[in-house]
Structure 1
């Protein structure tokens, strides 16, 4: 049967893929202008996604089933992927200007990852979905370890070790997902998501095994237990802007993939177990962290558990899970943006002790980080995070999963311990060496010298933080609009 191809429906992919090729040509031909080209391509992808949302059209159709489907949810996801790419480029701009990372390769790989995210957003069958996920992930293996070292600088293996860890675990998860997809196809003969089932009759057991392997393989992308151990090491070893992309865009791709399959397969008990283990392990281990990026990594593991919880319900919980993921990526990006601003373009995430008193000399950065932590904890003034947790708990209770809602609430209380601890440290005075604390508090000059030094935030970084924080605040006051836009 001949497949119909609608090129207008592919406009977001053309924009993303065309930008990647254009960045490569600009690097080879001129050796400059790659960063503005990549940013412009991100905005072009957003415009294309919006245009397609106004006039939805599927393509690659064989009969009633299509492999590329334009829906409101797909438009929201594509816009988020492009916006996160623009934000990470803004956070990386100071490092790229200093030559810490090669601009051409960095921008090309990041835009290629964005193109994979667009494919995930619009995918209508398992093959397209898995190819999109791998395209989203493959460039990140290189980006994690992509860093130039200045002459005389001691070369460490942290970035390389993080990249190898990420790659090895990803290969295993991809193999599991492909095997699961193959078993599902063998049991049902279907690949399109709209008709995906777990099989029945003699092949039902085969379909159940395939569904289990597929869910576990996709769980890697959201750093869910048991495929979670790569996240802290990889985030901490990667450049902080790349860690921000891993924690937001890569995780969003995993959420979309899981949401696409669990609402059609009977995997509720499996997803519930993954959710409980993921949020509990993430929160308990986060309590013991002493490095900022590792704390954010374990926190994001716990957040993945909150996202997985409503997916255990099936179709009724998908909207709550995706809405939570939207709010999560905004707040998580703000947190990583503040880390980049405070630590500088060539710094790592640092120890938690390095942030003590940081908000005293950098009040607006401190306020942004507090907004992020409050939202992730589900407390005001982070109204987006508060609404997200309420939505998840309400969807579980309404679907008869009250015990899982109780586990979510309990873990949210546990998470308060480390969010409040770090927030309090931001405004705490530091005791100067050899000077009693009471003297440092009494003498304003000593107190000012003891607190975190004031940092000069590059305009690109400031714009990324301010823009994302503003969006988080706006959707916090009007969250129902976001939720309604994700309804089928």
Structure 2
């Protein structure tokens, strides 16, 4: 008896467009060999991928590569959103890379080809329906980045960053693959929905040491990709050593890929009461360590890198509350998943905006420099400095950065709905800590220039005003957070 498997080419259209972009970029670089043509082909392919994902995802859910009810490719609204976000991030990074590719040490053909290959991995990742497709897509997203980080010729820092990133990512991939193999040994399945059904129907399997090790390895392997503490040490050195546009892609697309993979595994395959406590602990450690270490940073990219570590903690927090939400309602669980997705999307957009402004403020081909190098930038480039300040305020979760404010409110509300009031309080306290370095960097943009003969200088009168406003905003936000959370915390404590 033979099995017939049909292929839905419409469902695969975003993947076709992304992979076709990589092939066309390679051909354009080979046949035309002009920088503008190569970049234009890559940009057009990214736009086509985003449009194709939006059109296909607007309809009903499409499935292909199915065996019975188990499918390896599921394109729904969220998968289409992920594909479109990866394509738009690629387009944004191409826009940032103009100064880097214009007569610099980075070859444009290889750069655009590797970026398109990475975009293909991100597009496939959102629609992955089994662990093997998920891991292969995640590695397709990550592998080109090893080369992109070290593609700047003659830069020792770039080469060191690439090696660091490569070694850590290989370890993470090995752990994830080992965990997937052990899960298959325990359950006999690799499709995410089937794994969830098997572990839900036979919870006694989770009592096996082999199953415990499998779940731990999968979660911890994916935590490497998110740069969650204690698997975060590679991120600051890699971001700082990479060219600025590549660092922007690393801190947005790479992190988004890890979040999407972790969300798919936690939501569909692994029981929330097992992964919830682990993710809650990772979230607390990640946001706390990221914020505290960011306070001490003097290099701009390292500060943004440590802040992205802290932001990963905010994204993981709703997933950590799922163990408590599981005992409540399906609405609480759905809100937790939606909060994680919303925060991840808003974070990558604000982070890309921050890096875009930083690229505009720094000389062509230069690294991020120190924080003091940006002192007084608002007087030289007022609009660019204002854009950077707005992105930083959004990352801090303050108005008028409404996107960041909405994202943080969504996360805190999902934690309160899920019964994790203590975790909501940790998020709120860390958000207040984050104000210190976000607003400090924003204040430096409007501070006076460095005094002659002094390293880094000190703020002038405008800088003192900025520091006063920073302190007032921090205290006001702390008071608002405490007042807003106090009633719900009292109710939660009373309920227990």
Structure 1 length normalisation: TM-score?
Answer: 0.86
Q: Which residue of 1 aligns with 2:426?
A: 407
Q: Are positions 1:142 and 2:147 aligned together? A: yes
CA contact (8 A) 1:2 1:62 kept: no
CA contact (8 A) 1:187 1:204 kept: no
Q: Which residue of 1 aligns with 2:231?
A: 227
Q: Which residue of 1 aligns with 2:99?
A: 94
Structure 1 CA distance, aligned partners of 2:14 and 2:307?
32
Q: Are positions 1:119 and 2:142 aligned together? A: no
Q: 1:190 Cα deviation (Å)? A: 1.8
Structure 1 CA distance, aligned partners of 2:68 and 2:363?
54
1:251 maps to which of 255, 259, 264: 255
Q: 1:94 Cα deviation (Å)? A: 2.1
CA contact (8 A) 1:291 1:352 kept: yes
Q: Which residue of 2 aligns with 1:26?
A: 28
Q: 1:431 Cα deviation (Å)? A: 4.2
Structure 2 CA distance, aligned partners of 1:123 and 1:139?
19
Structure 2 CA distance, aligned partners of 1:370 and 1:246?
21
Q: Which residue of 2 aligns with 1:341?
A: 360
Q: Secondary structure of 1:349's match? A: coil
CA contact (8 A) 2:161 2:242 kept: yes
Q: Are positions 1:381 and 2:386 aligned together? A: no
CA contact (8 A) 1:292 1:352 kept: yes
Q: 1:367 Cα deviation (Å)? A: 1.1
Moved more, 361-370 or 288-297: 361-370
Q: Which residue of 1 aligns with 2:5?
A: 3
| TM-superposition CA deviations, 1:78-122 (whole Å, max 9, x none) | 000000000001100222122331010000000000000001011
Moved more, 348-357 or 28-37: 28-37
Q: Secondary structure of 1:58's match? A: strand
Q: Which residue of 2 aligns with 1:463?
A: none
| TM-superposition CA deviations, 1:398-420 (whole Å, max 9, x none) | 11111111110110011111111
Q: 1:441 Cα deviation (Å)? A: 7.4
1:133 maps to which of 138, 157, 169: 138
CA contact (8 A) 2:449 2:460 kept: no
Equivalence map 1:250-289=2 (5 Å): 250-263=254-267, 264-265=269-270, 266-289=274-297
- Do the aligned partners of residues 24 and 412 (structure 1) sit closer, same or farther apart at CA in structure 2, a change above 3 Å counting? same
| TM-superposition CA deviations, 1:327-353 (whole Å, max 9, x none) | 000100011001111113210000000
1:324 maps to which of 343, 353, 366: 343
Q: Secondary structure of 1:196's match? A: helix
2:302 maps to which of 290, 294, 319: 294
Q: Secondary structure of 1:67's match? A: strand
CA contact (8 A) 1:4 1:62 kept: no
Q: Are positions 1:189 and 2:168 aligned together? A: no
Q: Secondary structure of 1:3's match? A: coil
Q: 1:55 Cα deviation (Å)? A: 3.1
CA contact (8 A) 2:14 2:53 kept: yes
Unaligned runs of 5+ in 1: 149-154, 448-488
CA contact (8 A) 1:174 1:217 kept: yes
Q: Which residue of 1 aligns with 2:474?
A: none
Q: Which residue of 2 aligns with 1:396?
A: 415
Q: 1:202 Cα deviation (Å)? A: 5.1
Equivalence map 1:152-231=2 (5 Å): 155-197=154-196, 198=199, 200-201=203-204, 204-205=207-208, 206-231=210-235
Q: Secondary structure of 2:71's match? A: strand
The list of structure 1 runs, each at least 4 consecutive aligned residues, that deviate by more than 3 angstroms after superposition, is: 197-200
Structure 1 CA distance, aligned partners of 2:160 and 2:450?
36
1:65 maps to which of 64, 70, 74: 70
Q: Which residue of 2 aligns with 1:309?
A: 317
Moved more, 77-86 or 155-164: 155-164
- Do the aligned partners of residues 179 and 441 (structure 1) sit closer, same or farther apart at CA in structure 2, a change above 3 Å counting? closer
1:424 maps to which of 443, 456, 466: 443
Q: 1:30 Cα deviation (Å)? A: 2.0
Q: Which residue of 2 aligns with 1:45?
A: 49
Structure 1 CA distance, aligned partners of 2:140 and 2:276?
28
Q: Which residue of 2 aligns with 1:469?
A: none
Structure 1 CA distance, aligned partners of 2:222 and 2:136?
12
CA contact (8 A) 2:205 2:211 kept: no
Structure 1 CA distance, aligned partners of 2:132 and 2:216?
17
CA contact (8 A) 1:272 1:308 kept: yes
CA contact (8 A) 1:221 1:254 kept: yes
Structure 1 CA distance, aligned partners of 2:451 and 2:405?
38
- Backbone CA RMSD of aligned residues: 1.8
Moved more, 326-335 or 59-68: 59-68
Q: 1:17 Cα deviation (Å)? A: 0.3
1:109 maps to which of 100, 114, 123: 114
Q: Secondary structure of 2:444's match? A: helix
CA contact (8 A) 1:187 1:203 kept: no
Moved more, 72-81 or 357-366: 357-366
| TM-superposition CA deviations, 1:404-460 (whole Å, max 9, x none) | 11110110011111111111111011244169xxxx979xxxx9xxxxxxxxxxxxx
Moved more, 200-209 or 35-44: 200-209
CA contact (8 A) 1:92 1:345 kept: no
Q: Which residue of 1 aligns with 2:85?
A: 80
